[in-house]
Amino acid sequence: MSADEAVEESVEEPAAEATKAGTAHTVEGDAILRIRDLDAGYGDLQILTDVDLDVADGEYVTIVGPNGAGKSTVMKTVFGLTTYMDGSVEFEGNEIHGLAPEQIIREGIGFVPQTDNVFPGLSVRENLEMGAYILDSVPEDQIEEIFDRFPILRERQEQKAGTLSGGQRQMVAMGRALMLDPDLLLLDEPSAGLAPDLVSDMFDRIDRINDAGTAILMVEQNAKEALRRCDRGYVLVNGENRYTDHGEALLGDEDVRKDFLGG
Amino acid sequence: MGTTESSIVDAARGRPGLLLVTLLGGLLLVDLAAKLAGVSVGPLGGSLSTGRLGSNLWNGLVIGLVIGLAGIGLSMTYSILSFANFSHGDLVSVGAFTGWGVAFLVAGFGDIPIRTLLSVRDAGSATSGDIGAHILATPGAVLLGLVTAFVVTALIALALDRAFYKPMRDRDGISILIASIGAALIVRYLLQFAYGSDRRGVTASVEASNLAFDPLGLSVNAHQLTIVVAALGLMVAMHFMLQRTKLGTAMRAMADNKDLALVTGIPAERVVTATWIIGGGLAGASGYLYVLLRGTIQFDFGWLLLLLIFAAVILGGIGSVYGAIAGGLVIGIVFTTSTIWIPSDFNEAAAFAVMILMLLLRPEGLFGGVSTA
């Protein structure tokens, strides 16, 4: 083993002795998002079975798992984009399944889809304005806040979003979802399609959004990095809960590592 | 120099069609110049007065603006609802009949029975001359008719959406396209039932309505000017609506990506409603203005015009509002200037030939890939 690999190993193995990852899928006390026994899918095809998932206020939660495990389906179901079958999805104490996306946004949830997540023919500023469509007037102070968060967008505000680089588009997409200052932000694979050197910048930005008080529920292919950064992680397999624990604990678990994180 | 030449040769090798079209276009231009100069060399040249060329171009511009105005709605429904609306041409007719009914009512009120006036019929002894609808004689009536054409057609378009297209919103484009052909037939034959099938004169001829522009030897009449002013006004209003208002931005957003618009919280049905109102209204206005140009009306003229509208929209790049306007102008000008070379019976064929060439050489159209923007 070379020195480099040894260093990497030590980073990836925060818990020196591997422990068994937890399987308690719910949190004690108040969760802003509370999913219980959720069955959902597309048309007749059921993807999720009895999924439980909680996100506490201000918490940073990641869903990882193999391809086809239903990670994105959980997120889309929260947003009312799949076929709901059974169970409950409560947000801040209100049942939200069956609401139109427009109403879910009003409840305080923002969603950044994985691909095609900007309007290419609209300028950066117009993309952000569309994020606040349900308000009567454009919230200029919120646009300023997003420009402070992503300064490059202030420079490019009149440019069409379709002409931006992948990383900048991802900023526009996040900025749009933050326009209404949501309590919970859903991120579907934010690092997908980004050049490797931009990935950690992207995760840093997500950290800062979370530090400012917004709870995050994220699906991510880049599972190691995601688990290292998040508060808690869910491992989903075949549309069912498998493990749930603190991110570091999942990273340290031998079974999780072997089965889902590539050793 | 060397690189330029070789790149031209490469381009010609890669796209021989483009080379052929360029050569043909060049030949036509040379021929046109020879005709204007009164020189004839073999099959080229002949004689053509600048006045005739000028009035061909002017007429093309006027027809082009009418076609472009009608094309805006067709392109909008294509980009936002993803189907080619074959009932659009009959919405053009709806605007013409309802608008001119009201214009007649205002212009001829008193002497002629209201029912006759509303049905755009110069029944009995009354002729279109007696009613005297003309922009110079009865400007108020003509303008009120234009507003009526816009409003009534917008409402009919919206009613068709609620009755046929809304229940089919999630179906594929082909099913809705077929439904729209059915809707077109219903509208066309309701118009025939209500207004009759005869072709009739509408506008009165008013002396001194021709304004001659001498330097060009061009004669421009007041109705053509009305069309140009009204059509340009509506197009500019459309541009500001799309670029400067929240609703217009939402329309462009929906044309870009419907799924994203949904998760962004843009209320899709409200945007769709606005699309029908604006697209239908503009179709109605264009039908009304087209009658101002032709002077006559008949129940199926919108349907016949639809092919040219489609040609304009496809030429401009289907889905683009600005493309529809540009395509309308190209089709209009080809339509009228082609009579310099070919008999006027074939000028529609020339317009379609240009559309087909465009599809072969630049399939995305003039403004291709730029939806509503």
- Split into its structural domains, chain B has a count of 1
* Residue B130 placed within a domain: yes
- Cβ within 8 Å, pair B261-A102: no
How far does A245 lie from chain B, in Å, by closest CA? Answer: 30
Closest CA to B365 of B309, B334, B325, B327: B327
Asked if the structure places residue B100 within a domain, the reply is yes
Record: contact A131-B256, CB cut-off 8 A? no
Cβ distance of A81 and B263 shorter than 8 Å: yes
The pLDDT of residue B126: 59
- Tell me what the mean pLDDT of segment B283-296 comes to: 93
Taking the Cβ of residue B207 and every Cβ of chain A, the question of whether any pair is shorter than 8 Å is answered with no
Structure confidence at residue B373 as a pLDDT band (50, 70, 90): very low
Q: Are strands A109-112 and A184-188 parallel, antiparallel or unpaired?
A: parallel
Question: By CA distance, what is B370's nearest residue in A?
Answer: A121
- Residue A134 contacts B where some CB pair is shorter than 8 Å: yes
Domain for residue A89, yes or no? yes
Full 3-state SS string of A9-42: HHHHCCCCCCCCCCECCCCCCCCCEEEEEEEEEE
pLDDT at B258 over 50: yes
Which pLDDT does position A249 carry in this prediction? 83
> Which run of H or of E encompasses B342?
none
CA distance A102 to chain B (A): 4
Mean pLDDT of B64-93: 94
Q: Is B97 helix (H, G, I), strand (E, B) or coil?
A: helix
Q: What percent of chain B has pLDDT over 90?
A: 50
- From chain A, the residues in CB contact with B322 under 8 A are none
Q: Which residues contact A4 (CB under 8 A, 6 or more apart)?
A: none
Q: What pLDDT score was predicted for residue B369?
A: 55
CATH number at residue A53: 3.40.50.300
For the four alpha carbons of B358, B361, B367 and B371, in that order, the dihedral sign comes to positive
Average pLDDT, chain A: 86
CA distance B5 to A104: 61
- With respect to residue A137, please indicate whether it lies within any of the assigned structural domains: no
* pLDDT greater at residue B121 or residue A209: A209
A111 at B interface, C-beta within 8 A: yes
Per-residue confidence at B203, pLDDT binned at 50, 70, 90?
confident
What is the rounded CA–CA span in Å between residue A113 and residue A83? 17
**Any domain includes B15:** no
Kindly list the distances between the CA atom of residue B342 and the CA atoms of B33, B39, B337, B348, in Å, as whole numbers in the listed order. 17, 19, 9, 11
DSSP B22: H
Q: Which residues of A touch B373 (CB under 8 A)?
A: 121-122
Work out how many CB contacts closer than 8 A connect A with B. Answer: 64
Q: Quick check: A182 contacting B, CB < 8 Å?
A: no
Q: Is the minimum CB–CB distance between B168 and chain A shorter than 8 Å?
A: no
List, for residues B295-347, the tens digit of each pLDDT value.
Answer: 889 999 999 999 999 999 999 988 889 999 999 999 999 999 988 888 888 88
What pLDDT band is residue A109 in, cutting at 50, 70 and 90? very high
Q: Tell me which of B80, B258, B260 to substitute to probe the interface with A (most A C-beta atoms closer than 10 Å).
A: B260
Residue A32 lies in a domain: yes
* A213/B contact by beta carbon, under 8 A: no
Residue A261 domain-assigned?
yes
Phi, psi of B252 (to 5 degrees): -65, -35
CB contact under 8 A, B260 and A117: yes
* Tally of domains in chain A: 1
Residue A159 counted as domain residue? no
Of A118, A130, A138, the CB nearest to B250: A130
Residue A156 lies in a domain: no
**Among the listed ranges A23-37, A140-154, B272-286, which one has the minimum average pLDDT value?**
A23-37
Contact state of B260 with A101 under an 8 Å Cβ cutoff: no
Q: What is the DSSP string of chain A?
A: --HHHHHHHHHH--SSS--PPPB--S-SS--SEEEEEEEEEETTEEEEEEEEEEE-TT-EEEEE-STTSSHHHHHHHHTT-SEEEEEEEEETTEE-TT--HHHHHHHTEEEE-SSS-S-TTSBHHHHHHHHTTTSSS--HHHHHHHHHHSHHHHHTTTSBGGGS-HHHHHHHHHHHHHTT--SEEEEE-TTTT--HHHHHHHHHHHHHHHHTT-EEEEE-S-HHHHHHHSSEEEEEETTEEEEEEEHHHHHH-HHHHHHHS--
**pLDDT value at position A255?**
78
- Per residue in B216-247, pLDDT tens? 667 788 888 899 999 999 999 999 999 999 99
Question: Is B173 an 8 Å CB contact of chain A?
Answer: no
Print the domain residue range for B176.
61-198+222-361
Q: Does pLDDT of B2 surpass 70? A: no
Taking contacts as CB-CB distances below 8 angstroms, the residues of chain A near B266 are 102, 130, 133
Interchain CB contact of B261 with A (< 8 Å): yes
Out of A113, A129, A134, the one facing B249 most closely (by C-beta) is: A129
Q: Is the separation of the CB atoms in B138 and B132 below 8 Å?
A: yes
Domain with A30, as residue range(s), is: 25-108+231-263
Inside any domain, residue B244: yes
Nearest beta carbon to residue B263 from set A79, A121, A122:
A79
Residue A11, pLDDT score: 43
* Higher pLDDT pick, B369 / B99: B99
Q: Do A133 and B265 touch (CB under 8 A)?
A: yes
Is residue A92 in a domain? yes
- Looking at this predicted complex, what is its ipTM? 0.84
Q: Is B252 close to A119, i.e. CB distance below 8 A?
A: yes
pLDDT tens by residue, B151-198:
999 999 999 999 999 999 888 889 999 999 999 999 999 999 998 888
pLDDT of residue A111: 95
Q: Is some CB atom of chain A closer than 8 A to the CB atom of B107?
A: no
Highest mean pLDDT: which range of A173-177, B79-83, B338-342: A173-177
Please report, in angstroms and rounded to a whole number, the separation of the first and last CA atoms in chain B.
37
Whether B251 has a pLDDT exceeding 80, the answer reads yes
Contact status of A120 with chain B (Cβ, < 8 Å):
yes
B372 interfacial to chain A (CB closer than 8 Å): yes
Contacts of A120 in chain B (CB under 8 A): 256-257
CB A217 within 8 A of CB A187: yes
Distance CA B250, CA B269 (A): 11
